[in-house]
Structure 1
């Protein structure tokens, strides 16, 4: 698969990886489609439960959003905990909080398998407006009072201790959050899965899923037919190419990142080395790499065509936040599609022997690993935790095949305009 966005810092600094050659029968208990965090964690967790697993990836491990994202580990979902309780009641809010805030499966996997992926602690949500800061303070107080979940409220006068930018009106520092090298995490999961007996097939695209006469499923790929008792569709932005009806639940949004050359003043930009995301709808998000580059994401495009010069597209956003490095050398510029749902909550479920998880809406670095493991739990017969995420509301975008994306784009542009108007 040709990748027009391959000038990635992550790809340039990825650990060596090639899947082992496979010569066995293409029959298994579980066939996983997609080599991102969801598919890899599901494959690994299924293998740990004794299932035979084949994972099929159309390109290479981490090719999609899992290997291109900003590397920010943000506990929770796109909805705040208080919004979840208001919408779903205290019992479901408790269950969602335990899963999505307390249970850091990424950290657990990194520790269990010794994955070298530059894991660092600390995430800062930076307030773009005074009103945003007031809302953050209320939520921080709610989290502490309701769940005993402690975070640090940072007043505007104290923000310089975390970020050398005058733009923000305060923030919330969450020590349970953090950042990492996402592609090396994906590769680490792939190596752990192979060690558990998972067969990984790269450069093999699944064209369709069919029901077989014995009640199992068949994956028709560009090269083979794979027979499986269960299928896990973890293709996120590409899910509609295999199951068009599921594709109606998301639209792809293009995000772009840059990485500067190593900066002599890197530690003065982000003194606590936390990852930062601001509170705008079209947010800026940034962090330091292990070798002291600033990795910065800013702006969105609703066209699938990337800008001719990604560095030139993202640089103005970086310069607005950090004018002191406005002219810094940029070594890498890359991006990719993020699958966004109508309500920005993930769409997870099961239809017969086919499981799916997609639509993490730019908030998936932590919850994707969790989703994969919960699918494995459900497949093994324990469905309670899976049902908590599968019970999140979802509905398709209006407009059908041809109008869905234009109508969604109009809505997103409205909120982007609100950012500009303050």
Structure 2
């Protein structure tokens, strides 16, 4: 992942060289991103023999390539959750969202990770109706959870983000932004130090669950298949599980996001240093890092992510120019893409699929906090504490219509519709979901 500025600022996680996979483990984790590494760390800390399998590089999926924004709460807002799940469950999910943010902070401090943390998240409304929704939701959070509302009118928002493209917005001082690859690196080092075995370039080809345990067939690059017997398996590959488990494959759509980082700017357009995400369905999200580079995400696609930085930059540039016309021709230091996983409801799939088989995927663009936390939630459940997992299992995550083979056409149709809706400034969908 040397194409990202994150890799320029933080060392890539490099597990110790390993020649042989074990025949037996207590837990096999499939996926070496924030979820898998967090699970491996917390399992190893309670004495579980944990083996982690990553098809590519640790953090090589969305975990080490995302926009770096840490948002409080769940991916769906509290109004949506309350309407569908009731006040008690919605309140519990709010608390878990707060715990997720707290865990990220606790880990980066404990592990001494220089993640370039900067506080503050601004939501920028792209239309009057979106601004009305944002203000109403801020009032709800104040009334229900005591969160002080911080509303930015058009003028105040323009001063805060250096763009007059938006109608208004809201400010949150709990969230913020960081270098996600630095967090991945810290988790990988800590997990290995605690005793977890981490294997890169190792594909999990098959998972068989039986009454006596689980068997995982895995293949290291250039080697023959190897079977690991375990008590439990966690599927944590998010958008890159490649159909390993049908109950996951039919519920999680892999979607490619595109990001570009400018060369260091003479002056930051965001004087307060906050992260910004707008209310469009095809979202624009951006921030300025400690090197004064504008890290800007825009555009979505389905299928293999492009590997050519120039092609990615060409995708992102129109979105950046829309928000910052004065930076339309700014040179890029790097540009990259990453595959994330989204669900129909934008709720994460964090649950026990059956005894011995767990999944934590589908963060739908809000994985920095939730993915890290989900790894601990699953680790706790495997160790016997299912309280938090029981709450997450209330989240509705239905399969996509037609199954996995129709995900491509559905993704193309959905992206076309959402882009049209944004251009027409139609009202946001219930729940004001960010993508």
User: What TM-score, normalized by structure 2, do the two folds share?
Assistant: 0.91
1:84 aligns with 2:72: no
**Separation in 2 of the partners of 1:237 and 1:11?**
21
Shift of residue 102 of structure 1? Answer: 5.0
1:343 aligned partner: 345
- After TM superposition, the structure 1 = structure 2 runs for residues 11-410 of structure 1, keeping only pairs within 5 Å, are 11-22=7-18, 25-104=22-101, 105-211=103-209, 215-223=212-220, 224-266=226-268, 269-304=269-304, 306=306, 309-350=311-352, 351-410=354-413
Cα separation, 2, equivalents of 1:62 and 1:302: 20
Per-residue Cα deviation, 1:367-416 (whole angstroms, up to 9, x for no partner): 11111111011111111111111221111111234323313431332122
- 8 Å CA contact 1:399–1:407 kept in 2: the answer is no
Q: Are the aligned partners of 2:303 and 2:408 in contact in 1 as well (CA < 8 Å)? A: no
- 1:12-36 Cα offsets, whole Å, 9 max, x none, are 3331532123468442211111100
Distance 2:40 2:396 in 1: 26
Structure 1 residue 6: Cα displacement: 5.7
- After superposition, the Cα gap between the structure-2 partners of 1:102 and 1:58, relative to the gap in structure 1 and judged at 3 Å, is closer
With over 3 angstroms needed to count, the CA separation of the structure-2 counterparts of 1:17 and 1:103, relative to structure 1, is closer
- Aligned-pair RMSD on alpha carbons? 1.8
**Displacement, 1:234?**
0.3
Say if 2:11 is the partner of 1:8: no
User: How far does the alpha carbon of each residue in 1:206-246 deviate from its partner, in whole angstroms, 9 at most, with x for none?
Assistant: 1111246x712222111432221111110111224311332
CA contact (8 A) 2:250 2:404 kept: yes
Q: Deviations over 1:321-340 (max 9, x none)?
A: 11121111112110022211
CA contact (8 A) 1:126 1:171 kept: yes
Number of residue pairs aligned between Structure 1 and Structure 2: 415
Mean CA deviation greater in 234-243 or 391-400: 234-243
| Structure 1 consecutive aligned stretches of length 4 or more whose deviation exceeds 4 Å | none
Indicate the SS of the match to 2:13.
coil
State the 1:78 CA deviation.
Answer: 2.4
2:223 equivalent in structure 1: none
Give the 3-state SS of the residue equivalent to 2:216 in structure 1. strand
How far, CA to CA, are the matches of 1:410 and 1:17 in structure 2? 37
Say if 1:162 and 1:271, in contact at 8 Å, map to a contact too. Answer: yes
Segments of 5+ residues of structure 1 without an aligned counterpart are none
Instruction: Report SS of the residue matched to 2:138.
Output: helix
**CA drift at 1:9:** 1.6
Q: Shift in Å at residue 154 of structure 1?
A: 1.1
Report deviation, 1:42: 0.8
**Partner SS, residue 368 of structure 2:** coil
Instruction: Give the Cα–Cα distance (whole angstroms) in 2 for the partners of residues 324 and 404 of structure 1.
Output: 38
In structure 2, stretches of 5+ residues that fail to align are: 221-225, 426-435
SS class of match (2:195): coil
